[in-house]
Amino acid sequence: MATVVGNGGGSGDRPGARGRATVPGRQGVTGPELATPPLVVRRREEEETVVTFPALVYREFLAASAITAFLMLVSTWVNAPLLQRANTAITPNPAKAPWYFLGLQELLERFPPVMAGVAFPTFVIVGMMLTPYIDKNPSRRPQDRKVAIVLMTIYIMLAVAFVVIGVFFRGTAFTWQWDRLLGHPGVHPGT
């Protein structure tokens, strides 16, 4: 019993003192920590912790195993595409960029090239990198961040929509075609 008290007193002395000192001054303290609202600070003190090994390492191992198994299964059944040998004399119609750039290709269809090919992508990349410096709102709670969440959701929905359009609805000469999705991919009534 005596040793327990001694241990507790010895090791808990400094953190305890620090904790006691911060309690009255919590509202008034300034420093990097204070960018977060008091609610979050209080939560942080009460947070329960676990040892990363095994708690986190175990989860990482499971996630890695699961995705490996999934990809092995897919790779066993679905072959990566390989068309005829490259021939610069024969242009496929439509000629499409990889799917993650189809949003950009879609923009090129709709806007002047300088805007779609250069201005928009630059704006998106630079804007993304500067996001934390532009968004000065210190709160992480969704109810305090309505504007940020709405803007991001609009951006994501537009990006996904353009990629989906590019993959499924763009046919010969990159014109709009329903039949790529609705069957008869070889028949193009417009041509």
Partner 1 sequence: MRASGAGPNPLVRFASQIWGSIFRHGLPSTDKVAARTALTNFFLHIHPVRVKKSAIRVSYTLCLGGLSFFLFILLTISGLFLMFYYIPSVDQAYQNIKDLQFVETFGLVTRNLHRWAAHGMVITVWLHMARVFYQGSYKPPREFNWAIGSILLVVTLLLSFSGYLLPWDQLAVWAITVGTNMAKYAPIGGPYTRYVMLGGRTVGQGALIRFYVLHVVALPLIGFILMVIHFWRVRKDGFTGGL
The only residue of 49, 186, 187, 189 in contact with partner 1, by rule CB under 8 A: 49
Give residues with Cβ within 8 angstroms of 188, minimum separation 6: 171, 172, 177, 179
Stretch that binds partner 1, among 2-10, 21-29, 100-108, 176-184 (CB under 8 A): 100-108
Whole-number Å distance between alpha carbons of 131 and 121: 15
The only residue of 141, 147, 172, 191 in contact with partner 1, by rule CB under 8 A: 141
Give residues with Cβ within 8 angstroms of 145, minimum separation 6: 137, 139
Give the residue with the Cβ less far from partner 1, 165 or 189. Answer: 165
Give the residue with the Cβ less far from partner 1, 28 or 92. Answer: 92
Applying CB under 8 A, does 84 fall inside the site for partner 1?
Answer: yes
Stretch that binds partner 1, among 8-16, 21-29, 88-96, 179-187 (CB under 8 A): 88-96
Stretch that binds partner 1, among 5-13, 14-22, 65-73, 175-183 (CB under 8 A): 65-73
Query: Per-residue DSSP letters for 93-150?
Result: SS----GGGHHHHHHHHHS-HIIIIIIHHHHHHHHHHHHHHH-------GGG-HHHHH
